[in-house]
Structure 1
Amino acid sequence: MSDDEAAERTVREERSLSPMRKTIASRLQESYREAVHVTVNRSVDAEGLLSAVAAADPTEDGVSPSMVDVLLCALSDTLDEHPAFNATFEDETHVLYEEHNVGVAVAIDDGLVTPVVADVGSKSLGELASERRELTERVGDGDYTMSTFRGGTFTVSNLGPLGVDSFDPIINPPEIAILGVGRITERATQNGDGDVVFRRQMPLDLSFDHRVVDGADAARFLGTLAEHLDAAEQYV
């Protein structure tokens, strides 16, 4: 091939975006066009979280609470202390909400969707586990309406099960923040006696709209969440 000849490209196939994928693309474009994205990262000790999961009894309908369910309990308590993050920003107005309506990202064939678990703070760990499982199964089966994804005040995206260590989650507009969760790994740390011990750590990535809250606010948010995760057995 000479210098003035372009490399050949053979089309394998052409794919039109599905209606769902078009909606996702439009919302992601809106998010990047409107919000000023900043992400802060912090690794937290996961021993308390995993102990709580191990200690949790199955619900009456046989659902065993998972790490995400316990995380939602800790997140709700954190949002109580940092209400500016449980909010939306539209028409130059920062609206803070009483209910913690948390969208939990779920991967389906057409992309990533966020069914909303309503009023997380009013529910027990078992109730959260049952409701989230039911929502996830319905979305996976295609049994949902657009109202399933509306009314959110905050979003969580967990890519840990897929082996992801860290990522920059994209804010779900008009919300102002989203929490990304990476995979739990065991790391060497130094305890209070100066001895090296191995403890499980979990990376958290908080993306926020810098028009509304600042980096110091986000750092304090993650610090509070880390404290609640340390004491996660209170939710069992």
Structure 2
Amino acid sequence: MSTVDLTNEVKVVPLKGMRGMIADAMVKSLATAAQLTHHASADASALMVEKARLAEAGTKASVEDLLMLAVVRALKKHPEANGRVEGRDVKTMEKVDLSVAIALPGNLLVAPAIFGASDMDVSELRSARQDLAARAKANKLSVTEMTGGTFTVSNLGLTRVEHFTPIINAPQICILGIGRMTDRAVRGTDGGIELRPHVGLSLTFDHRALDGAPAGDLLTTICEEIEGFAP
């Protein structure tokens, strides 16, 4: 009778340094906020048309850039979701300072803020996002950029993930998770079946500050901004 080798090599990775800080922040967020996630899918046909129109006009814009613009536009209509929970106070802000989750080498993650995102067009949002990404990789982000956001977007669109449950970037009220784009069969205006691109969206919100219905309204508005995309 042969014996089974039960030994296994174990690699120990201490939760310290930046990885430890991320771990502590995630646990604190889940422990202190009443988190709930709504899921939806938006028809991205109009967004893709706008992306092509911008490219033809010589303006580069990624799907993420256009989705960021849609989020900012939606938050202007739902200011109750744009802010932070600090102690027993819910503080909402007029301007959107949009935090963008950025993955870094070594299984690390940061979410610096684009200040004044509500006053930017898609080209300005793209430039600001790229600047943050470059400085994040060079470890040149400021404390204010790391802590000053009012709403976060986290994009997993380059993976096979369609929906997920993003953890709130505490003390913010909400975070939007962006999933991959998939083609779905829908009934066209002529009654026939056609394939259209859809993007998965997942909105996690702090139920202490925002109830399910207004959070659902926000996610619906984000979908409407995507589906009715216009310059």
TM-score (ref. length: structure 1) = 0.89
Matched, 1:107 2:132: no
Higher mean C-alpha deviation, range 23-32 or range 188-197: 188-197
Q: What is the aligned counterpart of 2:15 among 14, 17, 20?
A: 17
Distance 1:148 1:133 in 2: 14
Aligned residues: 226
2:182 paired residue number:
185
Matched, 1:175 2:172: yes
Tell me, yes or no, if the aligned pair for 2:97 and 2:150 is still in contact at 8 Å: yes
1:100-158 deviation per Cα after TM superposition (whole angstroms, max 9, x unaligned) = 01111111124121021111111121111111111112212333233331210000001
Tell me, yes or no, if the aligned pair for 2:15 and 2:23 is still in contact at 8 Å: no
Secondary structure (helix, strand or coil) at the match of 1:232 reads: coil
Q: What is the aligned counterpart of 1:96 among 77, 84, 92?
A: 92
Identity within the alignment, %:
35
Secondary structure (helix, strand or coil) at the match of 2:180 reads: coil
**Unpaired segments of 5 or more residues in structure 2?**
none
2:81 paired residue number:
85
Q: What is the aligned counterpart of 1:226 among 200, 223, 228?
A: 223
1:177-196 deviation per Cα after TM superposition (whole angstroms, max 9, x unaligned) = 10001000101011344321
Gap change, CA 1:27 and 1:58, over 3 Å in 2: farther
1:116 paired residue number:
113
Q: What is the aligned counterpart of 1:217 among 209, 214, 219?
A: 214
Tell me, yes or no, if the aligned pair for 2:112 and 2:141 is still in contact at 8 Å: no
Q: CA deviation at 1:13?
A: 2.5
Amino acid at match of 2:33: A
Q: What is the aligned counterpart of 2:50 among 32, 52, 57?
A: 52
Amino acid at match of 1:21: R
Higher mean C-alpha deviation, range 67-76 or range 140-149: 140-149
Q: How large is the RMSD of aligned CA atoms in angstroms?
A: 1.9
Amino acid at match of 2:70: A
Distance 1:58 1:172 in 2: 36
Matched, 1:66 2:62: yes
**Unpaired segments of 5 or more residues in structure 1?**
1-6
Distance 1:144 1:95 in 2: 24
TM-score (ref. length: structure 2) = 0.91
Gap change, CA 1:17 and 1:216, over 3 Å in 2: same
